[in-house]
Structure 1
């Protein structure tokens, strides 16, 4: 049943993509040749363009099939879909140019081709996003469900069930458990009923025809039972997934690799380990920081004057922080606290708290609105920071937290950021360090360019609404 549904959805997506590509062809034709926006150009007959549009549609569908664009999407993030769409159409565009070259087609307008490609990608991404969001809403309401059976009612299986409850938008319902040791009826616990023993798997699959997937969540010591259980599932045509008993040691998105003919799990490979990802993130940082400095230069001038007029001392406050690969650097901020007197201890190991007596009145304002962070765009241009990333901490606290907070030092695998996932979630000021690290690690292990863009927009909104900045 599940595989038939997936085949049907694949066909629907392919037909929809072809329809959108041809709609993009018509819209690009109108914009280029009939709207008057680009001046009047007498084109060759539209039927020649239409032939090449059909050719491109076929190329795009074939490329999408090869690249995995039409694989099942229920468990995938939209960012993954976006990347596949971009890859498919970039490759398809160059294949189209190659086909046109060999066909000696020289009469197609280059500006038309650019419009056609841009509209195709934009409209496909737009409709796919709309479909994904619509399905998420419907699944939350109980429609478009898929049903799972969990083999193993121990800690691992129960943990999987509890985690699934946090993602109702995926549309999965647990039919029940199979287990040889534990047993309970429906309603006796917060978990679904244990409906049989492991040996009952074949009978349960025959009885519950609605089961689409079986989750094998047995303890490590029972791994010898997997071959027989998998054979039963495959004979019944049911999809199988295995929850490893050591998953607590793995990051959120481990990478599966193959080495010397053996499958391996790469425990800590992150997206920004790839040179291409680092290049695009750095390019975005430079362009965004340069634009931000230009746009906010009047604001920075006003803030500098405000700092100078409201309290004696330097306008810019420099503080040593630990950054990429545990190297220290000087992070710039507009000074928001009074400068220490000559006889005061200036060792900076204090934690900023609400109603901190060291703040000036103007400093409280620029901290609340995050305007004190604007000079850090110069840190970004210098390569010491990124626009988005884990917030850097002072060396004193790094030494304290590295022994107290699990995985704390992993945040230094990437450049620190002006803003970060933890800060967008409200974890600023005097909030849990453990929670911040959880969010930082999730960001590091799940980085995408779209994730950065999303966090930038959230940060702009949070600048005026966050109550934890002081």
Structure 2
């Protein structure tokens, strides 16, 4: 029910946003050419002729901007920031598309006015909706009362979500739980003060509670572990004798979940506990970004690549590039490319080992390339081939992974996304001969919180502190 309502609201909000974008485009023309400096040669028809392209571009940008995610709380700074980011993306995309529209040049003042008006209208719409819905909830209109069976992590997180999204219209009456003392579970997602849950009784008391709130309990959420199947059946039987709807929220938060989601196979619900990110518009956008960024990097850096290639060739006998087998998405292996930094057959006697600070295997040129991470630049070709992404967990050698996967909990979960040239762990210093546990922690956080904006942030951080680092050797 929560998901269906959320999706419906998101779609309606997108339609309303596009209508406001169109209004902002026209109002900006009026202000620019009718109020401020009205030249005779500019007509409204010319700008309206470009409006369908504006709406098409902004429709796509708004969808991938993250503006419609339900975790966007109604705090004004977050709303303003989310709208501002979406407007900035829309302007960048619009400017890019304008190169293909050569009938006339658009007024820069008009574009600036359009950005300002669109921002005000989009923020104003959200605040207006929030005020109207909140006032309606306070007056008791269209409120659905919820009883949660199970006051564990899943149940308390569910209650926080209902409290955090008041516009959905869900009021939690309380919990049922069989424990004598129920501790309050803190949350990293909703950082409010920890409040003990309001426990109305034990699970066996559900019949009494439903009778007590006769006609007043609209939804019952069974947030119980899968091992509590008999209790879930008892809750279902009780709800069947009343008018309350029943929803199952399996308490799986004790497991290391990654990209968990629900799908169906021929009508059968399937819960994905560990999965790669599903293919959607954002994944396609990431691939397009990877290709564009890699082509630009290879072209702009070609003089530097040529100088490094000559230096490597002159430093010691052997090939310029070094190929090594690494593991990426879903355990697939590929040949990673690097500028050769060691003499040929440097690992003949030791086998695959990690580089350590102060080691002497690298050539003088290779040592410099490693300290500055310039030996990694040929991997933009791996990105073009689809082996890697620009941003993602750094790939490792299968021979080393065989030991790591038994020693480090959750190590193999980092292969639920493509490996990258740079990553969240690397820009925070977890690279080279450092803690694997911390590196995996940062990698899994990146996979769980991935967005195009996070990728851009990591790239910017890489430029300023990711190339030269004390742990790069």
- TM-score normalized with structure 1 length: 0.60
Question: What residue in structure 2 maps to residue 388 of structure 1?
Answer: 391
What's the offset of the Cα at 1:372? 2.1
Q: 1:263 to 1:372 in 2, by over 3 A?
A: same
In the TM superposition, 1:53-452 aligns within 5 A as: 73-74=71-72, 151-153=149-151, 157-158=152-153, 178-183=176-181, 192=196, 195-198=199-202, 199=205, 216-220=222-226, 221=228, 222-227=231-236, 243-249=249-255, 251-271=257-277, 273=279, 279-304=284-309, 311-314=315-318, 316-324=320-328, 326-336=331-341, 338-339=342-343, 345-359=348-362, 363-405=366-408, 408-409=411-412, 411-412=414-415, 414-437=417-440, 439-441=442-444, 443-444=446-447, 447-452=450-455
8 Å CA contact 1:318–1:330 kept in 2: the answer is no
In structure 1, C-alpha distance between the alignment counterparts of 2:388 and 2:221, rounded to whole Å:
42
Question: What residue in structure 1 maps to residue 27 of structure 2?
Answer: 26
In structure 2, C-alpha distance between the alignment counterparts of 1:131 and 1:355, rounded to whole Å:
59
In structure 1, C-alpha distance between the alignment counterparts of 2:421 and 2:246, rounded to whole Å:
43
Secondary structure in structure 2 of the residue aligned to 1:339: coil
What's the offset of the Cα at 1:289? 1.0
8 Å CA contact 1:270–1:446 kept in 2: the answer is no
Question: What residue in structure 2 maps to residue 141 of structure 1?
Answer: none
- Structure 1 vs Structure 2 CA RMSD: 6.1
In structure 2, C-alpha distance between the alignment counterparts of 1:16 and 1:49, rounded to whole Å:
17
In structure 1, C-alpha distance between the alignment counterparts of 2:176 and 2:368, rounded to whole Å:
59
8 Å CA contact 1:184–1:194 kept in 2: the answer is no
In structure 1, C-alpha distance between the alignment counterparts of 2:405 and 2:267, rounded to whole Å:
37
What's the offset of the Cα at 1:287? 1.8
Structure 1: gaps of 5 or more residues: 94-108, 133-146
Q: 1:334 to 1:212 in 2, by over 3 A?
A: farther
In structure 1, C-alpha distance between the alignment counterparts of 2:13 and 2:331, rounded to whole Å:
50
Secondary structure in structure 1 of the residue aligned to 2:425: helix
Structure 2: gaps of 5 or more residues: 95-102, 127-144, 167-171, 185-193
8 Å CA contact 1:148–1:212 kept in 2: the answer is yes
8 Å CA contact 2:147–2:174 kept in 1: the answer is yes
In structure 2, C-alpha distance between the alignment counterparts of 1:130 and 1:318, rounded to whole Å:
56
Partner deviation per Cα, 1:387-433 (whole Å, 9 max, x = no partner): 22332212311333344445645555654321234334543222344
- TM-score normalized with structure 2 length: 0.59
Q: 1:161 to 1:181 in 2, by over 3 A?
A: closer
Secondary structure in structure 2 of the residue aligned to 1:196: strand
8 Å CA contact 2:276–2:417 kept in 1: the answer is no
Partner deviation per Cα, 1:172-207 (whole Å, 9 max, x = no partner): 9x9986423322699xxx87266431438959x98x
The number of aligned residues is 403
Secondary structure in structure 2 of the residue aligned to 1:378: helix
In structure 1, C-alpha distance between the alignment counterparts of 2:20 and 2:385, rounded to whole Å:
47
What's the offset of the Cα at 1:227? 3.7
Secondary structure in structure 2 of the residue aligned to 1:180: coil
What's the offset of the Cα at 1:292? 0.4
Q: 1:401 to 1:296 in 2, by over 3 A?
A: same
What's the offset of the Cα at 1:72? 5.1
In structure 1, C-alpha distance between the alignment counterparts of 2:183 and 2:418, rounded to whole Å:
51
Q: 1:151 to 1:298 in 2, by over 3 A?
A: same
Q: 1:70 to 1:450 in 2, by over 3 A?
A: closer
**Paired residue for 2:465, among 447, 462, 465?**
462
What's the offset of the Cα at 1:352? 1.6
Question: What residue in structure 1 maps to residue 188 of structure 2?
Answer: none
What's the offset of the Cα at 1:291? 0.5
Question: What residue in structure 2 maps to residue 104 of structure 1?
Answer: none
Q: 1:45 to 1:459 in 2, by over 3 A?
A: closer
